[in-house]
Every structure is written in C-alpha cells, then in structure tokens.
Structure 1
Amino acid sequence: MDYKKVDAPRTTVTQNHNEIDAQTENIYEALAIVSKRADQIGEEIKVELHDKLDEFATNTESLEEIFENKEQIEVSRFYESLAKPTSIAMEEWKAGKVYFRRPEVKQEGE
C-alpha cells in the first residue's frame, strides 16, 4: 500500500469510541486489531526505508570517509514526516479496510 498518499492525521487526534467499536462492539478487541495492523504497517514502512537507504550504502567505511549524503538525508526526512502507523491503521479501521476474523469458539458438546 502507498502510505505516502494516506490522509491520516500527523498529530494526536481525539477519537470517538463509538466509531472505533462499531465493527466489533468491543473497544478492547477493536484496539487490539488496530494495534496489530499498526505493527504490520510499521514493519512495511521500516523495510521500505531500509531498502531505500541501502542504495546509498558504501562498502568502505572508516571514520575519515564518513560524509553526508544529501539524498539520504532527504529520504530519511521524508519518512519521518509520514503519519504514524497507528494513525494510518486507525483511518483504515474506520473506513472498514481492515480484515479481521474471530477463531471459531468450540461448544462443550463438540
């Protein structure tokens, strides 16, 4: 998914708990699902950032050869300015874009 185009807030926003627990009717379950999705998003962003930064890596590194790469700094600043994974996950949740399932509950007679 392209997280650069997501319209999630970049600051803290108070959420309406009725919107959050509308799908599950349980605020704790909803927050657990959003938390797991935020972990997934954070990992995807981290992998993408490391892949881009690996393009700038040099094999010979010594204290004298360390220099600032302006392109590398720009890439890092761009990823720092993205919305937090939690905000992105919450927006996906409220839009109904997060798939979740409940494991089957076995009855005592089974």
Structure 2
Amino acid sequence: MPTNPSIITRDVDKIAAKTGNVYESVAIISKRARQVSTKMKEELSNKLSEFASSVDNLEEIFENREQIEISKYYERMPKPTSIAIDEFMEDKILFRNTNQELIEE
C-alpha cells in the first residue's frame, strides 16, 4: 500500500529539544493547533455565511459553485496540527513555563 504523501515523519528528539520535555512540546503544539483551527473555522464560517439562504431548495444549494470552491480551498489547506508543528520547529511560537519561573525565584 503506498504511503500518503501528506504524511511527514517527525523527529521526536528535535521536538523535545525545544522545551526539554516531549510532553510539554506536544502540549504547546496542541494549544497552537487549536488556535489555528478556531481561526480557520471562523474564516470559513464568515465566507460561507455570505451564501446563507432562507430558501430550503436543495437544487439551489447544490448549484452554488462559489461556495463549493471555498469549501474545497479550505479542505486543501494544511491541517492546523501541521501548521502548529512547523511554527513550533521554526521558533515562531512564543511560550513560557510559568512553573519554571516559580521554581527559579
């Protein structure tokens, strides 16, 4: 079975090296992925709300090409998790460990 070309193997050691703890790194990435996902959903909802119709005619709904193209565009975009991992690995995410600050004081 061929491998999906969108699947990327990640080096866990490199991810863990950013914080010293793989679980902390994954927690940061997951929080950022949720932020990205929320933003993408809001953008999509705003764009699709322009096409909101009070008519419940199924033929009109299926014929709206612009709406379909917008949906396909968002489906082709990278997943929020992939975006968050890339941002994390490129040091584009600002994070701090508040527990560590308390220990150091």
| TM-aligned CA distance change 1:23 to 1:69, over 3 Å | same
Identical columns (%) = 45
Q: Note the C-alpha offset of 1:100.
A: 0.7
Out of 99, 102, 105, the residue aligned to residue 102 of structure 2 is 105
Deviations 1:62-102 (A, max 9, x none): 24664320000000000000010000000000000011111
Structure-2 residue corresponding to 1:25: 20
Aligned residues: 98
Give the AA of the match of 2:21. Answer: N
Instruction: Report deviation, 1:21.
Output: 1.3
1:85 match? 80
Task: Give 1:19 deviation, angstroms.
Answer: 1.5
Provide structure 2 residue ranges, at least 5 long, that are not aligned to the other structure: none
RMSD over equivalenced CA pairs, Å: 2.0
Q: Which residue of 1 aligns with 2:67?
A: 72
Letter in 1 for 2:102: V
| Residue 6 (structure 2) pairs with residue 11 (structure 1) | yes
Q: TM-score, normalised by structure 2?
A: 0.83
Q: Are 1:36 and 2:31 counterparts?
A: yes
Normalised by the length of structure 1, the TM-score is: 0.80
Distance 2:103 2:84 in 1: 30
- Say which structure, 1 or 2, has more relative contact order (CA 8 Å, 6+ apart): 1
